[in-house]
Chain A
Amino acid sequence: MGRGGGRRRDRLRWSKLYTFSCFRPHGADDGAGPSATGLGGPGFTRVVHCNNPALHRRKPLKYMLNHISTTKYNIITFFPKAIFEQFRRVANLYFLLTAILSLTPVCPFSAVSMIAPLAFVVGLSMIKEGIEDWRRFIQDMKVNNRKVGVHRGDGEFVYRHWEDLCVGDVVKVEKDQFFPADLLLLSSSYEDGICYVETMNLDGETNLKVKRSLEVTLALEDDESFKDFRGVIRCEDPNPSLYTFVGNFEYERQMYSIDPFQILLRDSKLRNTAFIYGVVIFTGHDSKVMQNSTESPSKRSRIEKKMDLIIYILFTVLVLISLISSIGFAVRIKLDLPHWWYLQPQSSNKLDDPSRPALSGIFHLITALILYGYLIPISLYVSIELVKVLQAHFINQDIHMFDEETGNTAQARTSNLNEELGQVHTILSDKTGTLTCNQMDFLKCSVAGVSYGVGSSEVEIAAAKQMASGADDHDIPYKMILALCHTAIPEINEETGAITYEAESPDEGAFLVAAREFGFEFFKRTQSSVFVREKHTSSKGVTEREFKILNLLEFNSKRKRMTVILKDEDDQILLFCKGADSIIFDRLAKNGRVYEPDTNRHLNEYGEAGLRTLALSYRVLEESEYASWNSEFLKAKTAIGPDRELQLERVSDMIERELILVGATAVEDKLQKGVPQCIDRLAQAGLKIWVLTGDKMETAINIGYACSLLRQGMKQICLSIPTGDQVAQDARKAAKESLMLQIANGSQMVKLEKDPDAAFALIIDGKALAFVLEDDMKHMFLNLAIECASVICCRVSPKQKALVTRLVKEGIGQTTLAIGDGANDVGMIQEADIGVGISGVEGMQICYFFYKNIAFGLTIFYFEAFAGFSGQSVYDDWFMLLFNVVLTSLPVISLGVFEQDVSSEICLQFPALYQQGPKNLFFDWYRILGWMGNGLYSSLIIFFLNICIFYDQAIRAGGQTADMAAVGTTMFTCIIWAVNMQIALTMSHFTWIQHVFVWGSIATWYLFILAYGMTLKSRDNYKILLEVLGPAPLYWAATLLVTAACNIPYLIHISYQRSCNPLDHHVIQEIKYLRKDVEDQTMWKRERSKARQKTKIGFTARVDAKIKQIRGKLQKKGPALTIHTVS
């Protein structure tokens, strides 16, 4: 250790300490190792010349640059690709066809009136696509422009953009930075080349993973040493498997095989390590994480699917009336046209040839299909899309979803699914980063059968201090275990002298802080020793104590315990073991069980309180006993071969026995702010919550407790594969059978349960899930899961997460919301129940579209029938063009964007209102048909009233009669009024924006007809308002009459519904309006407490259960509280 400086401090050789995880195949092999077979063959062709990126800039070893792009389009492909996307929609394709046909004489309209709205609608959608893609581009740019230190040559490192990285580059990644590409770890700031990696972005696991370099590259420990570094890596081709790597490394004419331990993956983060050196193997889209990212399928919301269905229905109607029309036309052409000499039937072309009625009829069918195209709301998609974009914008701007720490607002990445937020039935949530913030607080402890710590961490620390004063025999090992049994490294802040700890898992950090408060401050670690400062509360003195580390049997998920064997200054050999309670309790000595009952009880209490618990124990070893064990242990440790691990485990197991229990710890896996409340509200809103986590079962269960998804007294159904030693193929079958049995038992249990308050929780681990997700079992599993109040899946791989989501989505047929990393904002979950407003209106919006287009389209049909089925439209082409795009779509958009039936505050107070969404109260078939009927009614009223009024009589005092243009314009005026009044009636929230849009649309119509009438293009509508209709009172009278007649049925409907069958939000609106909530606060409070779905999970449910439990106890007059005394 010749080199001084602060760096020495963390130059620890962990490999010497670690028993299990840092197993390294020793020595160099010559490429003949099992993993290296097949290298150079197909699938294993990649060759990387380390520190010689120039070779990779040209063929044949030219690999992809580290530039990534997640955009859908580029400048060249945007146009064709985006257009193709647009015309994949049936409706758009139909409109495209009509636009093409409009160039032929078949079309009843001018070409421009067909093409213009289509171009507008498609153009708008494309602009939206373009903007969204641009955002992705910016996002990519940000990533591509991150900087990392790259070896430029001569041992000099410069910062370069990520995108400029090349295969073969040597990079230096510093602490808390992301790895820019998949790297081969060469060396790290630790002497033995290990580093800690956080892979949260890859698999969601929070515990740090240890990676270690090959031994041969350890010497490359500073910038200088890369001057002449050369090496060749031969390895597999890019592939998406995150956990495998096959390759070897040729260095100084020796071959070394590489395994996943040496590979650092892009998008994972360097933690607890000052820096590492690595060589780039896979860049950009070749990297494993990018290979994993599948092109996100464009998600379509349920409403959108239903919308399609309705469009198909409308298409059917369209085809039907077109058929009627063309049959009518053919009949009339055959029977009547020859008599209509004034139409000069003798000089007919094939479009209306009396001698060939069938052919003419077919041509007419096309005409009719175009003519009644107004039944299909062309602007529906684009309006809905626009509404969603605006909604997304408002979500992004929402101050309630503002994170003050990062300055970020919520980001709605895609606006496609906004309305789904209001229809969520099941939430599938990730744990880490979503529910918890990955931070542990030491909250309670049970020492020698006495529980300490009552509440928040500060109180607990005070209590701990008190405890430290009354030194006790059993306290000392307890504190020592906390302070010594870990793998953390202390880091001294040079300015303040304060010590922080870098621990593999956050709870270790919490233990150390607690130990410090107890008077045992861990402050130094060397290769062989740990140093602790012991504070004596009585004498205020401090003694430094040194413990030699003899062995360290670290934690892993299989062992569920961690052990250190130490030698103290008095040469006493101590074994400290901490671990899961079940494991520790099994290993206690007969005389070590003194505190077992008490501790066990405490553990249960802690567990119930949602804390993460560990049991602590120790053992004093005899010198001879240790020596004999150690020799065996060393033998196992140095053994080479597949059974090394087994042997190690067996040997470890030998020493971790006869333990003496000293107590237990309870650490709070700190939940994100607001999570329990949020889950509570979501549960009350009737949403189901599933937690899918990569964590191990115990952790997951603990979190379940912490966020009240689980509680004591809930019946847990655990599905897992029993560990047996069957032969491999048998194991599969056996596992499956056993799972079947478990599921069947679980279902039986649920079925037989009589108590209505009983709640079940389903807990399943990843391995079992793999079987359960197979086709033959998944429905059984799902049925059981639906019965359970909460479902927790642990050790779930990302793929399984997706599968589970699909299972739920398809199995229940309801909207699911998945929350995972990247969407860490809990506020967003909280806001999800705002969806009430969104969903209701979304359905309403679509209904309204159908209403207005039916009302409009059918009038065209009636008139056509009136005009001998000739395909003549009563309206001017321009009116029709404007109808969908300008005159009637803006109010709907304002409805979609700004409508609030009740304020967001009330939504939070009455979670049950949310059920209006999933129950689809606003968009069921009853409602859709109702609106369609309303459209039919309106069309009849509009057409027949106007025809009767304008039939043949003079319309003005001057004796003028109405022609087709006058009737058409009056009808159109009536439609504009009727549909806009209709939407005004559906609104319950008018800001100036709604006023502007609704009344503005009507005003626009008059302005348009005025301006249009001035141009010669208007033909029959020349100055129609100014000179024909404006001066006619009949015109205004007809408008008033028709508008009123159209809207009266709807008014009756809503009045009746409100008075006899009010919906929840109606009543709440009234309560708010009458200020009853202020006057009668007890009622308001009571309703708020009732306004939740009867729920079995969540904080509130837990409180209820507790109350019930206490009541039960009081009735039995049993002891409700036990008083503990210090022994």
Chain B
Amino acid sequence: MDDHAAGSSAGGSGDSGASREALQEAQLKLVLMQTDSKFTQQELPACKPILTPKWVITVFVIVGVIFVPIGIASLRASQQVVEIVDRYDDACVPANATDKLSYIQNSSIPKTCTRTLMVTKDMKQPIFVYYQLDNFYQNHRRYVKSRNDVQLRDASKANDTANCDPEATANGQPIVPCGLIAWTLPTFRKLYGRIHVDLKANDTITVQLENNYNTYSFGGKKKLVLSTATWLGGKNDFLGFAYLSVGGLCFFLAFAFTLLYLIKPRKQGDNNYLSWNRTPTGR
């Protein structure tokens, strides 16, 4: 049917060879494209999970089933922990000292203080002794910044006090160790020591301590803490309750969705829910 060719204005028979070549090249390209097509054509085998009611309920039930036991276990662990907290900053200031601040700042007064603690429950060793400080801004940037690892690591770098302000130099000499951190205690609750003896309920423990640190000027509380620990660590009811809440919520959701599916069921793949079937026709 050369009539068709004639119908077009292009014509010209000389380039038929060239066009054949081009066609071959095109074919070749097509083949090349097909060979590595799975990726480039975005036809990789894919998993297409669909959130069916079954899945929704299953997921919530599974989360609930996992979380509730964890919650119970955590709570139990937390319940096993015996913790004795003794706040002593007020008690260790003699009743006759009217101004706590001047008392603590007066270095001539002996600060030794004796506290007697009653063990409420049996405590298995090891028993951890903590020193706790409240209302203390150990994470203040001014505080956190003030440290120099190089100096701490290497004795020959004693002169390196970069970043250590305001605890960098004294009388023109570098402070070793420099920085605020090195000169104070960095955590809310600091592990002080361990007691490697089991304690029985109603045992009394007498602690003698030096009440030297001034927390009075910033309203900090000082506490002495004796605590046992479990696999989970210290007394931590919050974790258990949180797990129980989330687990409980999931069970509730599983239940709620079940109800929803029962009351207002939607058949999977129900074509009546397609937008064009839902809106009244005719706009």
Binding site for B on A (CB under 8 A): 108, 175-176, 208, 271-272, 336, 339-344, 346-349, 352, 394, 397-399, 402-409, 439-442, 457-458, 461, 491, 493, 495-496, 498-506, 509-510, 512-513, 516-517, 756, 863, 866-868, 870-872, 874, 898, 900, 912, 945, 948-949, 951-961, 963-964, 988-993, 1016, 1019, 1032-1034, 1037-1038, 1040-1041, 1044-1045, 1048, 1051-1052, 1054-1056, 1058-1060, 1062-1064, 1067-1074, 1076, 1083, 1086-1087, 1090-1091, 1094
Contact between A407 and B29, CB atoms less than 8 A apart: yes
Number of A-B contacts (CB under 8 A): 301
Q: Which residues of B contact A1064 (CB under 8 A)?
A: 274-275
Which residue of chain A has its CB nearest to the CB of B6? Answer: A500
Is B17 among interface residues, defined by CB-CB distance under 8 A? Answer: no
Which residue of chain B has its CB nearest to the CB of A985? Answer: B51
Contact between B283 and A954, CB atoms less than 8 A apart: no
Complex-state Cα separation, A934 to B27, whole angstroms:
51
Which residue of chain B has its CB nearest to the CB of A341? Answer: B217
Q: Which residues of A contact B140 (CB under 8 A)?
A: 340, 343, 867-868, 870, 872
19 A-B pairs within 8 Å (CB atoms) are namely A176-B12, A340-B137, A341-B214, A341-B218, A349-B165, A506-B7, A756-B282, A874-B139, A959-B229, A961-B187, A964-B144, A988-B49, A1032-B233, A1044-B63, A1052-B253, A1059-B56, A1059-B260, A1069-B50, A1087-B271
Contact between A953 and B236, CB atoms less than 8 A apart: yes
Contact between B274 and A409, CB atoms less than 8 A apart: no
Contact between B239 and A949, CB atoms less than 8 A apart: yes
Q: Which residues of A contact B70 (CB under 8 A)?
A: 1037, 1040
Distance to closest chain A CB from B97 (angstroms): 19
Distance to closest chain A CB from B60 (angstroms): 8
Contact between A348 and B189, CB atoms less than 8 A apart: no
- Bitwise interface map of B from 117 to 149 toward A, beta carbon under 8 Å scored 1, else 0: 000000000101010100011111111100001
Q: Which residues of A contact B173 (CB under 8 A)?
A: none
Is B166 among interface residues, defined by CB-CB distance under 8 A? Answer: yes
Complex-state Cα separation, A1034 to B30, whole angstroms:
57
Distance to closest chain A CB from B124 (angstroms): 12
Which residue of chain B has its CB nearest to the CB of A495? Answer: B13
Q: A756-B282, A1074-B268 are in contact. List 14 more A-B contacts (CB 8 A).
A: A340-B137, A341-B218, A343-B142, A397-B41, A405-B23, A500-B5, A504-B9, A949-B236, A957-B229, A960-B233, A989-B48, A1044-B63, A1055-B51, A1059-B257
Contact between B233 and A1034, CB atoms less than 8 A apart: yes
Distance to closest chain A CB from B43 (angstroms): 9
Complex-state Cα separation, A989 to B43, whole angstroms:
11
Contact between A409 and B33, CB atoms less than 8 A apart: yes
Contact of B40 among A272, A394, A1059 (CB under 8 A): A394
Complex-state Cα separation, A363 to B97, whole angstroms:
42
Contact between B282 and A1067, CB atoms less than 8 A apart: no
Distance to closest chain B CB from A519 (angstroms): 14
Among A756, A874, A1070, the most chain B Cβ lie within 10 Å of the Cβ of: A1070
Complex-state Cα separation, A900 to B42, whole angstroms:
9
Contact of B8 among A439, A499, A863 (CB under 8 A): A439
Binding site for A on B (CB under 8 A): 1-13, 22-23, 25-30, 33-34, 37, 40-42, 44-53, 56, 59, 63, 67, 70, 74, 126, 128, 130, 132, 136-144, 149, 153, 165-167, 180, 184, 186-191, 194, 214, 217-219, 227, 229-236, 238-239, 242-243, 246, 249-250, 253, 257, 260-261, 264, 266, 268-271, 273-277, 282-283
Contact between B266 and A1059, CB atoms less than 8 A apart: yes
Distance to closest chain B CB from A1063 (angstroms): 8
Complex-state Cα separation, A439 to B243, whole angstroms:
73
Contact of A1062 among B33, B264, B266 (CB under 8 A): B266
Distance to closest chain A CB from B132 (angstroms): 7
Contact between A407 and B273, CB atoms less than 8 A apart: no
Which residue of chain A has its CB nearest to the CB of B128? Answer: A959
Contact between A407 and B243, CB atoms less than 8 A apart: no
Given known pairs A341-B214, A513-B7, A963-B187, the reply for A1041 and B239 (CB within 8 Å) is yes
Q: Which residues of A contact B51 (CB under 8 A)?
A: 1054-1055, 1058
Which residue of chain B has its CB nearest to the CB of A516? Answer: B3
Distance to closest chain A CB from B173 (angstroms): 16
Q: Which residues of B contact A958 (CB under 8 A)?
A: 229
Which residue of chain B has its CB nearest to the CB of A336? Answer: B218
Complex-state Cα separation, A230 to B209, whole angstroms:
114
Contact between B227 and A954, CB atoms less than 8 A apart: yes
Q: Which residues of B contact A989 (CB under 8 A)?
A: 46, 48
Given known pairs A509-B8, A1048-B246, the reply for A399 and B30 (CB within 8 Å) is yes
Complex-state Cα separation, A959 to B44, whole angstroms:
51
Q: Which residues of B contact A1090 (CB under 8 A)?
A: 274, 276-277
Q: Which residues of A contact B23 (CB under 8 A)?
A: 404-405, 407
Q: Which residues of A contact B266 (CB under 8 A)?
A: 1059-1060, 1062
Which residue of chain B has its CB nearest to the CB of A442? Answer: B7
Complex-state Cα separation, A1086 to B271, whole angstroms:
10
Which residue of chain B has its CB nearest to the CB of A508? Answer: B9
Which residue of chain A has its CB nearest to the CB of B267? Answer: A1070
Contact of A953 among B6, B214, B234, B243 (CB under 8 A): B234
Complex-state Cα separation, A1103 to B234, whole angstroms:
78
Given known pairs A343-B143, A963-B186, the reply for A1067 and B30 (CB within 8 Å) is no
Complex-state Cα separation, A1041 to B184, whole angstroms:
34
Which residue of chain B has its CB nearest to the CB of A1080? Answer: B271
Given known pairs A340-B137, A1069-B50, A1070-B268, the reply for A991 and B257 (CB within 8 Å) is no
Contact between A957 and B230, CB atoms less than 8 A apart: yes
Contact between B48 and A990, CB atoms less than 8 A apart: yes
Which residue of chain A has its CB nearest to the CB of B277? Answer: A1090
Contact between B238 and A872, CB atoms less than 8 A apart: no
Complex-state Cα separation, A263 to B63, whole angstroms:
79
Distance to closest chain A CB from B250 (angstroms): 7
Given known pairs A399-B37, A1048-B249, A1073-B48, the reply for A956 and B233 (CB within 8 Å) is yes
Which residue of chain A has its CB nearest to the CB of B46? Answer: A991
Which residue of chain B has its CB nearest to the CB of A499? Answer: B6
Q: Which residues of A contact B28 (CB under 8 A)?
A: 407
Q: Which residues of B contact A1074 (CB under 8 A)?
A: 268-269
Which 9 A/B pairs are nearest by Cβ-Cβ distance?
A407-B26, A953-B234, A347-B166, A954-B234, A959-B128, A1070-B269, A870-B141, A872-B141, A1071-B269
Q: Which residues of A contact B250 (CB under 8 A)?
A: 1048
Complex-state Cα separation, A206 to B39, whole angstroms:
40
Complex-state Cα separation, A534 to B49, whole angstroms:
72
Distance to closest chain B CB from A1096 (angstroms): 12
Q: Which residues of A contact B132 (CB under 8 A)?
A: 952
Q: Which residues of B contact A397 (CB under 8 A)?
A: 33, 40-41
Given known pairs A961-B191, A1044-B67, A1083-B271, the reply for A407 and B7 (CB within 8 Å) is no
Contact between A872 and B231, CB atoms less than 8 A apart: no
Distance to closest chain B CB from A108 (angstroms): 7
Contact between B167 and A344, CB atoms less than 8 A apart: yes
Complex-state Cα separation, A751 to B133, whole angstroms:
80
Q: Which residues of B contact A1059 (CB under 8 A)?
A: 53, 56, 257, 260-261, 264, 266
Complex-state Cα separation, A409 to B161, whole angstroms:
65
Complex-state Cα separation, A339 to B136, whole angstroms:
11
Q: Which residues of A contact B214 (CB under 8 A)?
A: 341
Distance to closest chain A CB from B113 (angstroms): 21
Distance to closest chain A CB from B144 (angstroms): 5
Contact between A992 and B44, CB atoms less than 8 A apart: yes
Q: Which residues of B contact A1076 (CB under 8 A)?
A: 269
Q: Which residues of B contact A402 (CB under 8 A)?
A: 29-30, 33
Which residue of chain B has its CB nearest to the CB of A343? Answer: B142
Contact between A959 and B190, CB atoms less than 8 A apart: no
Complex-state Cα separation, A990 to B44, whole angstroms:
9
Among B22, B41, B48, B189, the most chain A Cβ lie within 10 Å of the Cβ of: B48
Contact between B246 and A1045, CB atoms less than 8 A apart: yes
Contact between B26 and A406, CB atoms less than 8 A apart: yes
Q: Which residues of A contact B283 (CB under 8 A)?
A: 1094
Complex-state Cα separation, A408 to B145, whole angstroms:
61
Contact between B232 and A1034, CB atoms less than 8 A apart: yes
